[in-house]
Amino acid sequence: MMRTWLLLFGAALLIGQQGLRVFTPEVQVGLFFLGVVLVGVPHGAADLLVSTQQARDAGRMFHTPKFLLGYVGRLLVFAAVLYFLPVLGSALFILFSAYHFGETDLAKLRTETLWGKFVVLNYGLVILGIILLGHAEEVEPILAVLEASPQQALWLEWVISSKLLLLGTSMVLFFGSAFAYFVLNPSSHAGGGDFIARFAMLALLLHFLPLVLGFTFYFIVWHSVLSLSNILSYLRKDGLFSTQVILGRVVFYSILALVGMALLAACGFVYLSTEALMISVIAGLAVLTAPHMGVMHEMYGRLRSQQSQGL
């Protein structure tokens, strides 16, 4: 039911954009930053709580300093890859993000098999393809502020010039792998129709919404809200954390994260343009992808295990 309401919200955004013209570029950017603060950062700020619950489920002691050291360590390693090997880092970011988005959207499917993981990855690649390749003319001026190296520039030029091929290939791989998945998993047939209908509606919204508003809708309204819902279900499953405790800690960790981002901005990003500021925020989200994805991947694995056991 939640997904239906989220799609209706997306439809309202589209009507407001196409019919009423209320979402000017400035309003879209404002909504993006507001969404990152109110929902985007909090959905990642729960990682410490999720890992605490995971340790309890596995019957092992949880050590906060050890968790933070490993979390920050993975963050720094990925940041170094993005900085020193930008083409490789960008490709890894796309793959990590695609898998993470797909795993969240397809959380109710049994995707623990190798084929299921292939469906998850293809789903995420299609979503990212529609958002980025489908709005390449809007992506280019934002990327222009990066002052890319010749190698990066050639890579970006090839991606944009091949956007139809890349998007078409991702569509074929997704629909082919999804069809095979439902054939190999007869028990999932009942939900196949709803799955395709929701995907079609989501794809249409992302196609017709402008880049910034579409990304805001998918990352903030769709992905982050679904993630928070899954996180709440996982943390409340055996009463270790109450809703009040979860929300309180998420708010606290979110404030710490935002303070850290503000300090980084004060060190050199204060006078950047809007496009550069957006790139900086997205880069910050990018380096968080690797450690956050690891925590969420384990959580979704445990949720699927509980579903299979009828818990």
Q: Give the start-to-end residue ranges of the domains of the chain.
A: 2-20+35-52+65-304
What does the CA dihedral 242, 219, 99, 226 come to, rounded to 10 degrees? 30
**What's the pLDDT band for 264 if we cut at 50, 70, 90?**
low
* pLDDT of 169 higher than 90: yes
The Cα 93–Cα 222 span in angstroms is 19
Q: How many CB atoms lie within 10 A of CB 94?
A: 18
Residue 124 has pLDDT above 70, yes or no: yes
Flag whether pLDDT at 219 surpasses 50: yes
192 burial type by CB count under 10 A (0-12 exposed, 13-18 middle, 19+ buried): middle
Tell the burial category of 258 from Cβ atoms under 10 Å away from its Cβ (0-12, 13-18, 19+): middle
Task: Band the pLDDT of 81: cuts 50, 70, 90.
Answer: confident
Alpha carbons 211 and 140: distance in angstroms, whole number:
11
pLDDT surpasses 70 at 100: yes
Examine the pLDDT at 268 and tell me if it is beyond 60: no
Place of tokens 């596995």: 58
Tokens of 241: 């954390």
CB 206 within 8 A of CB 214: yes
**101-117 CB burial, b ≥16 within 10 A, e <16:** bbbbbbbebebeeeebe
Find the mean pLDDT for residues 29-47. Answer: 86
Tokens 């993005």 identify what position? 82
Residue type, 100: H
What value does the mean pLDDT of the chain take? 83
pLDDT of residue 74 exceeding 70, the answer is: yes
Q: Which residue has the higher pLDDT, 213 or 242?
A: 213
CA–CA gap between residue 23 and residue 30 (Å, rounded): 10
7: amino acid identity, one letter: L
- Residue 144, pLDDT score: 66
Residue 237 belongs to what H/E stretch? none
CA distance 109 to 122: 14
Residue 272 — pLDDT band, cuts 50, 70, 90? low
Residue 185: its pLDDT value, please? 77
Rounded mean pLDDT, 19-46: 86
| Residue 188 vs residues 121, 192, 202, 230: alpha-carbon distances, Å | 19, 6, 20, 20
Share of the chain above pLDDT 70, in %: 86
pLDDT at 311: 47
Q: What whole-number distance in Å separates Cα of residue 237 and Cα of residue 268?
A: 43
The two tokens of residue 5 are 């309401």
Per mean pLDDT, which range of 146-150, 216-220, 243-247 is the poorest?
146-150
- Cα(164)–Cα(115) distance, integer angstroms: 25
pLDDT band of residue 111 (cuts 50, 70, 90) is confident
Who wins on pLDDT, 289 or 279? 289
**What is the biggest distance separating any 2 CA atoms in the chain, rounded to whole angstroms?**
56
**Over residues 87-115, mean pLDDT:** 86
8-state DSSP, 209: S
